[in-house]
Amino acid sequence: MATTRRRKNVEQSKENEQPSTAQANSTEPTANAGSSVFEIAGVGLISLTTSAIVASTMMRLGPQYLEPVYGNVLPYINYQWYVLASVLYGAALGAVYCRRNITAGPKRLGMAISHAFDLICIMMATAPLRLKYMFSLVETLGPNYGPHIIQLTFGYPVFIAIGFIMSVVSFWAGYSPVSPSRSLVTVFGAFLGQLLICTAGYTYVTPQRSCEAALLLGVNVAIASIIIKLVTEYFVGVNTTPAGQTQNQDRKKSKSGGLNIRIWPIAFCIATGVLTMFTDPQCARAVTPSHQKNPLQMVLSRAESATGWVDVVATEKAGHKMKVLRSGHSIVGGIWEETSESIFGVFYYMDAVKYARDPKAKGQERALQIGLGAGITTRSLYNENVLVDIVELDPAVYQAAIDYFKVPKEITAVYLQDGRKFMEDALDHTYDYIVHDVFTGGSVPAALFSKEALQHAKRILKPGGILSLNFVGEVGSGKSFDYVVRTLRSVFSHIRCFADTKPDGDSIANIVFFASDRPIKFHIPDHIAKPRPSEQTTRTHILSGMMDMELDIDKYIGDNSAGEIITDTYNPLSQFQIPSAIKHWQIMRDTFPSTFWNNY
């Protein structure tokens, strides 16, 4: 009997030492089990800050990197929608991952975040080399889908990773199986808040040198990844140390097994970045020997500036040497080296603005040039003793025009700023002529073609002053031409229009408008209209035959003479220019080979 009692007492004591099944299962693991508020806030803050920097930078950097081979229109078409789709896809992947690993503890979630940052780091570090190869396929990929196919190897995977990170952070901070419906609202709110912060950050990101921006972004992300790994391994890991194992043992195990994993992303980024900066000519700050390997396509100067890549290239056409000014995926001007005349005859149409006023007019004439390009018209007006004020947004364009295209250095009234802002601040009745030539990269700045912008141009012109406006687009079949005509007519009483080629179907043309509040009649001097054989030049040839290239505006605008105009509040010009941008891209590809465009 005594033995039996002893056994019962022993069994009862064991039962008392063991927790009941209900007690053992009373607390289910959650996403933030074992995490303190400090740990969650630390990882969340680092992730949110880094994600906002990456997302806002890539929103600008993604299309910017493609600008030298696709221009300033095609890379932006629907880009924001593909970015949003990528983020949401990444968020869905993150949600699936969290649901499957919600009971695994915060350490696994923290490591998932850091590994996603590692992926971004690798994508950024290898971007220049990867895109160099993709750019060699541009002509095969074409202008319509090519930019997005290239972004599948550059920008879109980064946004997928960002969406994944934001989703995991939101689940970690807000999800609990005890109240799933309420916690899902918290998770969604946290995700939406992160998305809004990332979107708002885009406003404060200024353009950077694309190659350097990608490499520096990779290093920044690698550092963030290391910090998150340290937090999750040393802080979260302490709170989730298995029973029977000391915290020091767990830390030693973490140190010995995770050191290489923590270090190799940043080591890889730095090594790849240094190698790329010294070997990739597109990442160099100046002209390198690699840019001058082909004697028929020698880069004389290059700069990545406010409007993208600006290069001066010495090349040949039909055995004649010339220098061209490249801006992105467009040639905005050039001169023949033998004669220093423009390679584009249509630019001399704008010189005619000087001959559209009464030749008997007296006094010093003054002109405003908005958009310098290679400075063809600026040189002509200066040689006609006209005082010229230059307004150019991009300092690199102005410097190239001075150094390589013989724009007179004596012109000191140079304003490196936005043309619209300059006109808004200029005094009334200041200029006899305004030369408005802002086409670049396949499009024009739409804000400079609105009714309000043209009203400012009219205000700062003297009575009887002339506006000369260059526009590239479709005539007859494109809405952009109709809108520009109607907008000009809403401001000026008289307009005339000339094209470099007679419109043919849906082809695009360089179109030069002349607008004034008085009838426009050209008085071209005899030495230009009827030059001696020894005085014949490209300029005299173009100006003497200019009247044969005048367009009957009413014929081409047809029944669309009455309709909407371009205003600051309604400006569809950017959207209307997409077909012209695609055709312009193809013209540029037909004019110069892919080796020309890839050598920047």
For 188-226, write each residue's pLDDT tens digit.
555 566 566 655 555 555 567 788 888 888 888 888 888
The closest alpha carbon to 135, from 60, 59, 210, 83, belongs to 210
- Res. 257: pLDDT tops 70: no
- Which residues, 6+ apart, have CB-to-CB distance to 52 below 8 Å? 194, 197, 198, 201
Q: What is the pLDDT of residues 442-462, one digit of tens each?
A: 788 999 999 999 999 999 999
160 or 526, greater pLDDT:
160
Instruction: Assess whether 437 carries a catalytic annotation.
Output: yes
Can you tell me the mean pLDDT for 387-396? 95
Can you tell me the mean pLDDT for 118-139? 92
> Residue 252's pLDDT band (boundaries 50, 70, 90)?
very low
> Residue 245's pLDDT band (boundaries 50, 70, 90)?
very low
The closest alpha carbon to 265, from 225, 212, 227, 211, belongs to 225
Can you tell me the mean pLDDT for 292-304? 88
- Res. 598: pLDDT tops 70: yes
Q: What is the pLDDT of residues 45-83, one digit of tens each?
A: 788 888 888 888 899 899 999 999 999 999 999 999 999
413 or 480, greater pLDDT:
413
User: Which of 311, 351, 389, 437 is an active site residue?
Assistant: 437
- pLDDT (0 to 100) of residue 305: 85
- pLDDT (0 to 100) of residue 494: 96
- Write down the H helix ranges in 178-302: 180-201, 210-230, 237-239, 247-279
φ and ψ of 471, to 5 deg: -140, 140
- pLDDT (0 to 100) of residue 204: 55
The closest alpha carbon to 560, from 451, 475, 494, 447, belongs to 475
> Residue 89's pLDDT band (boundaries 50, 70, 90)?
very high
- Res. 180: pLDDT tops 60: no
- Res. 540: pLDDT tops 60: yes
> Residue 229's pLDDT band (boundaries 50, 70, 90)?
confident
- Res. 260: pLDDT tops 60: no
Can you tell me the mean pLDDT for 139-145? 94
Can you tell me the mean pLDDT for 299-309? 87
- Res. 316: pLDDT tops 70: yes
- pLDDT (0 to 100) of residue 600: 87
Q: What is the pLDDT of residues 573-587, one digit of tens each?
A: 988 888 889 989 999
Instruction: For residue 275, give both structure tokens.
Output: 């190698």
- pLDDT (0 to 100) of residue 352: 94
Kindly state the DSSP code that residue 386 receives in the 8-state scheme.
Answer: -
588 alpha-carbon distance from chain centroid: 20
| Burial class (CB within 10 angstroms; exposed 0-12, middle 13-18, buried 19+) of 370 | buried
- Selection from 3-12, 56-65, 141-150 with the highest mean pLDDT: 141-150
211 alpha-carbon distance from chain centroid: 13
CA distance 500 to 545: 11
Instruction: For residue 66, give both structure tokens.
Output: 């493609």
- Res. 107: pLDDT tops 50: yes
Provide the mean pLDDT of the chain.
83
Contact 224/50 with Cβ under 8 angstroms?
Answer: yes
- pLDDT (0 to 100) of residue 36: 52
Kindly state the DSSP code that residue 440 receives in the 8-state scheme.
Answer: B
- Res. 342: pLDDT tops 90: yes
Q: Token pair 């958009």 is at which residue?
A: 371
Can you tell me the mean pLDDT for 131-153? 95
Q: Which of 273-277, 506-510, 560-564 has the lowest mean pLDDT?
A: 560-564
